[in-house]
């Protein structure tokens, strides 16, 4: 299902958030994992997106509840977190909020699920 173009207001919010958020490319993220770095991958997409397919080893905490649930799931604010969504916009917004909450090692995955799939990388269903 094709999504309509993003609205100017949404894009302005994302641009602002990305000015404060660190991003990994998919290649950089995979290289870090290959070197043995331990990152927690959080898929911030909606339930129906998660069910249709997600990255291996991801956990699901949607953008709608991540600020409410993150401290319970990861009380250590230094936990290395990579947030991922469909393309890297919602995850940047969520990463910005987590930083405001005191999380110090949060990264957004640029390209997200769409970029991962476009590269032919493995996904899981359900």
The catalytic residue positions are 85
Single out the residue of 114, 105, 119, 39 nearest to residue 77, CA to CA.
105
Q: Which two tokens stand for residue 48?
A: 């129906």
* Tokens at 107, concatenated: 């990264």
- Listed in sequence order, the residues at least 6 apart from 9 whose beta carbon sits closer than 8 Å to its beta carbon are none
The burial of 4, by beta-carbon neighbours within 10 Å (0-12 exposed, 13-18 middle, 19 or more buried), is given as exposed
Q: How many Cβ atoms from other residues are within 10 Å of residue 110's Cβ?
A: 20
């Amino acid at each position: 299902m094709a999504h309509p173009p993003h609205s100017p207001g949404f894009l302005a919010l994302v641009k602002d958030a990305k000015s404060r958020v660190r991003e990994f490319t998919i290649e950089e993220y995979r290289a870090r994992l290959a070197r043995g770095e331990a990152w927690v991958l959080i898929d911030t997409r909606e339930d129906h997106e998660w069910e249709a397919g997600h990255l291996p080893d991801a956990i699901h905490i949607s953008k709608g509840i991540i600020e409410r649930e993150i401290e319970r799931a990861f009380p250590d604010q230094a936990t290395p977190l990579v947030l991922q969504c469909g393309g890297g916009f919602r995850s940047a917004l969520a990463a910005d909020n987590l930083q405001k909450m005191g999380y110090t090692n949060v990264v957004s995955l640029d390209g997200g699920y769409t970029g991962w799939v476009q590269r032919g990388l493995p996904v899981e269903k359900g």
